[in-house]
Amino acid sequence: MSNNDQWRDKLSAEEYRVTRQAGTERPFSGSLLYESRSGTYQCKCCGAKLFDDSSKFDAGCGWPSFFAQTDDDNVGYRFDESHGMRRTEIYCKHCDAHLGHVFDDGPAPTGQRYCVNSVSLDFIPQD
């Protein structure tokens, strides 16, 4: 079985389109956009820890936004010129899942806005 077949078996069609084919969910449609509980946001595909609730903020952009990744350093960066734009894609360093993009218009202390697709994340509430 190919790696693509394994991902197709594990993920929903939308999760596969976003995480394995660098798609984007519709703005304001994601289940984690308004999540406000304490907890951790992990990669939907492999479970790597990516973001904490302490860095989440409402950017008003339609996707969950964070001003920093966790200290685990599991988020990678690469240049993206798709759709006629010049952006920085963010992806999971462990399994190469597409997460979204990062922009330089976020709040202090980092000035970063990690704009992340809800379907690329699992939320693990703090006990």
Give me the active site residues, please.
Answer: 115
| Residue tagged 């798609």 (tokens) | 23
| Residue tagged 């597409």 (tokens) | 98
- Taking the C-alpha atoms of residue 25 and residue 2, their distance in angstroms, rounded to an integer, is 25
Contacts 24+ apart (CB under 8 A), 98-101: 98/18, 98/19, 98/20, 98/21, 98/22, 98/23, 99/19, 99/43, 99/50, 99/75, 100/24, 100/63
3-state DSSP assignment of residue 26:
coil
User: Is residue 61 part of an annotated ligand binding site?
Assistant: no
- Which of these, 115, 113, 119, 82, lies nearest to 97 by C-alpha position? 119
- Residues placed in the known binding site: 43, 46, 92, 95
- Residues placed in the known binding site for Zn(2+): 43, 46, 92, 95
